């Protein structure tokens, strides 16, 4: 059976914005990387090229999470630990996908869907909470 019905459209939406300029800028880059993996898969790019982009994804996700965690620590964000634990779980899952793909297991579509779904739920829920905290928390200083 063809899985074209389950194909998701990787398109940036305004509601993805969390209202924190630095985080939003990083999210857009992160989103671009997901999009280029998706494009590569659709255009039948070589596995070597896909693996190169997956490497970029891995490093950028690590960077973005570290960046977000630093911002949270800076302002004493009360949900810092829970958010950081969430990052760890995502990274582990993402790395499992990448390891499998490197071994030749065809999980790339699954990975793209996973990343996109995670991005949509994580950004709206968790990062928006933090952005609101920064806005409200810094208003009194």
Count of residues interacting with Fe ion (CB under 5 A): 1
Distance of CA 120 to the CA centre of its chain: 9
The size of the chain, in residues, is 141
**Shortest reach from residue 99's CB to Fe ion, in Å:** 23
Neighbours of 111 (CB within 10 A): 22
Please select the residue that binds Fe ion; options are 127, 128, 131, 134, rule is CB under 5 A. 127
**Shortest reach from residue 85's CB to Fe ion, in Å:** 14
**Shortest reach from residue 54's CB to Fe ion, in Å:** 19
CA distances from 125 to 38, 78, 83, 107, 132 (A): 24, 15, 11, 26, 11
**CB-nearer residue toward Fe ion: 40 or 127:** 127
Could you tell me which of 24, 33, 37 has the C-alpha nearest to residue 67? 24
**CB-nearer residue toward Fe ion: 69 or 100:** 69
Burial of 130 (0-12, 13-18, 19+ CB in 10 A): buried
**CB-nearer residue toward Fe ion: 39 or 67:** 67
**Shortest reach from residue 45's CB to Fe ion, in Å:** 26
What is the x/- site pattern for Fe ion, positions 78-117, by CB under 5 A? ----------------------------------------
Please give the residue ranges that form the binding site for Fe ion (CB under 5 A): 127
């Amino acid at each position: 059976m063809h899985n074209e019905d389950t194909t998701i459209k990787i398109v940036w939406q305004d509601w993805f914005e969390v209202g924190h300029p630095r985080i939003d800028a990083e999210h857009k880059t992160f989103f671009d990387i997901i999009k280029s993996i998706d494009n590569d898969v659709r255009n039948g790019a070589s596995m070597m090229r896909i693996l190169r982009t997956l490497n970029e994804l891995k490093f950028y996700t690590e960077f973005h999470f570290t960046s977000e965690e630093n911002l949270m620590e800076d302002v004493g964000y009360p949900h810092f630990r829970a958010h950081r634990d969430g990052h760890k779980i995502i990274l582990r899952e993402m790395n499992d996908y990448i390891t499998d793909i490197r071994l030749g297991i065809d999980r790339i579509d699954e990975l793209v869907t996973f990343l996109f779904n995670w991005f949509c739920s994580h950004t709206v829920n968790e990062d928006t909470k933090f952005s609101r905290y920064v806005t409200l928390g810094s208003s009194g200083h």
